[in-house]
Structure 1
Amino acid sequence: MNRFLLPPALLCLAAASNLCLSATAQDVTITIKSTPPESDSSASDKAPFTGNRPAVDVAILLDTSNSMDGLINQAKNQLWNIVQQFAKAKKAGKTPQLRVSIFEYGNSRLPAAEDYIRQVVPLTDDLDKVSEALFALTTSGGDEYCGAVINEAIKRLDWSGEPNAYRVIFIAGNEPFDQGPLDFHTACKKAIGEGVVVNTIHCGNYDQGVRGHWQAGASLAEGKFLNINQDEKVVHTHAPQDKIIIELNAALNKTYLWYGGAQQRRAYASNQAQQDANAGSGLSSRAAVKSSSVYSNVGRDLVDTYDDDPAAITKLKADELPEELQNLAPEQLLERIQAMSKKRAEIKQKLAEASRERQAYVAAEQAKQPAAPGDATLGDAFSEAVEVQLEASGFEVEK
């Protein structure tokens, strides 16, 4: 039972089907009726979890020195393909709570005293913020200190303490892995000691990556050594379903009821639209992610927040609500949120169906074409590591 004071204007919210109240002149007691938790009998014995959703924390460490424009472009173009892989994972029938962090290193614009390292975004479930951060990255020559940036990610990020969470670092670059003031052996051993796997992605010749200790770094932290061509062009296949996916994505955006200060609300809405635009021809992949529960805006959007914790809505001030909702009576506000939640669920279902049809179409088209030789990209590297490592952490991954 949660006990707290409610603003008088919000007392009627408790009339909702999932809230009961008793009131005195002194306080209001709210009891939230919860449904029994989903059974976790299907979860792996070696991978229990105690929270509402299993945890996945991913830190992506990108070399942003002069030669890495291709790597950054691949990250921008393939972000939503990468996130889709996590959206397909479940543990005990539950999609994970995905948090992503971005670090850049090796950029001469960054302070030498800080080893040319910058945390671009901390671990966050705000995937639009992650996309925004990626599209703001630029390159400039510098010194690439892999050991130092791994150590900084381990030290600075608030990694999940969930038992058997999937905690992972992907570090990508092309200079020798042993540069800088901190020995990579120390950093990689510290990472795995904290339960964080380190996958290394060398950009360039495979043998050069081995000689440059990228393979050794991955081995120390129980990760995979991966090799890509950072300049390989990313090709998005067009499909008949793209038109309906674009239309459904636009309809989905209209169901978001952003809250917070007026400037904050505008920023959330504007950034969602901007990241749709940034996705470009990869919007279908982004839309597929938005149809899943991996794309969540709890703490920013009324619908997601209400679905996660109905009582949280009662704590909001009127001026934190969208302008069109600020003058509604509490029961009317609740009705609007519930109606929007139902509408969003319907759109998401249609969007997920269209995305599956698109995926089947693309697979069939690709099967008709002769296998074309091509170098691996950043997205390919993630694909090679993620599924195997998620399954090792007790997740089931949809094929």
Structure 2
Amino acid sequence: MKIAHLRIHDVLGIEHLEFEAGAFNTIAGRNGQGKTSVLEAIKALCNGGEDATLLRKGAEAGEIVLVMDDGTELKRRITPKGSYSTVKEADGSQAGKPGARIKSLVDRISINPVEFLGADPKRRVDVLLDSLPIKADPARLAEMIAPMKVKYPEDAPALTQIDTIYKVIFDERTGTNRAIKEKDATINQLAATMPPEDASAPEGGIGELETQLAQLDSVKDTELTRIAEKLEGLRLASQGRVDEIQGEIDGLLQQVELKRTIINSERNAFAEISGKAGIQRQATIDTNSAQRKPLVERIAVIRANAEAVARAAQTADTIKVMRAEAATLLEDQEQQTAALTKLQAYKLELLKSLPIDGLSVEDGQILRHGVVFDRLNTQQKVEIAVEIAKLRAGELGVICVDGIELLDSDNFGAFRDRALESDLQLFVTRVTDGDFAMSAQG
């Protein structure tokens, strides 16, 4: 269905306009002559609403009428208080819900692709993906990522579903790669602590060495006891002599000096013997310590070796477990990589079915032949916008393009020829040096 006749009366900057439309309709003229008003009138009728500001200043009522090539008539009447639409079907009957009937005929983006051109990248991608006539096979997606399971929006466009699954698995693989590196680093660190394979323990057992230590301590204790007992005996004998002499001193004052000399002699003799006994006792302790030291050191070595062997066995078990975990992680990594490869291939397969040559969606951006949309030239952007509008076009395949004057003459001609080859009807404004004029082709 196409617009065959257009009538606009007292709307925006247009007092009265009637036009027999073709496939490609050019609205040309200088700025301020009403070119955009024509497009806005068409869009206002197609988009619905009750915008009283569409009424031409000073007018009591305005009207927009689109007569289709099958006789269907869409009309919108505008007053200072608001506006309303009516639809007369091709058979002459009035549509009971004109707003719903008009909405069934059109898509807002298909009416104004310039909105697509000016949209932010995310909105632009959403419009594109919603427009693409491609669907993803849930069973095939599940098979690609098996045995993994990933939740994704089932009602989303195919490429969005694939990108969602891809990102989840990619993030999981990143975590798997990190875990593998950490496992390898830990295994290498643990392996470095293992004793060399040719390491041997000192000869002899701890029990034998401890017996020798006990024997040495027994000899030491016996000798120290003997010295102490002999010294005690000497002390008692000396004390007896001292007591005897002290008694004589009490009875024989005249012999005090002589007895004192004897007492001092006895004390000196005991002190000399005591000193020799201390030297002998220390020698016994030193001998014991010297004999104990190598035995204690050997026991310490044996115990350390036994502990090292136990730790090595435990480390070996830990390394074995970690290697098994690392092997599992490598299997997960292989599954994740295989799934990513399949998803990418599936995406490329679906992209090959796109009706727009070279168009793809990557990382939330629309690309054409690998070039980001915003970096394409104006002609390419408009072509893509028109093609997307064509995909979204409903029964009324009308496209309104404002600002096409950004294209030079050659590019405008190419754009017009391509549009005429399509099954769409275009209304295009273009700034020129001449007066307001409308022309139709096709």
**Common fold, TM-score beyond 0.5?**
no
Q: Which has the larger radius of gyration?
A: 2
Greater helix proportion: 2
Structure 2 length as normaliser, TM-score? 0.20
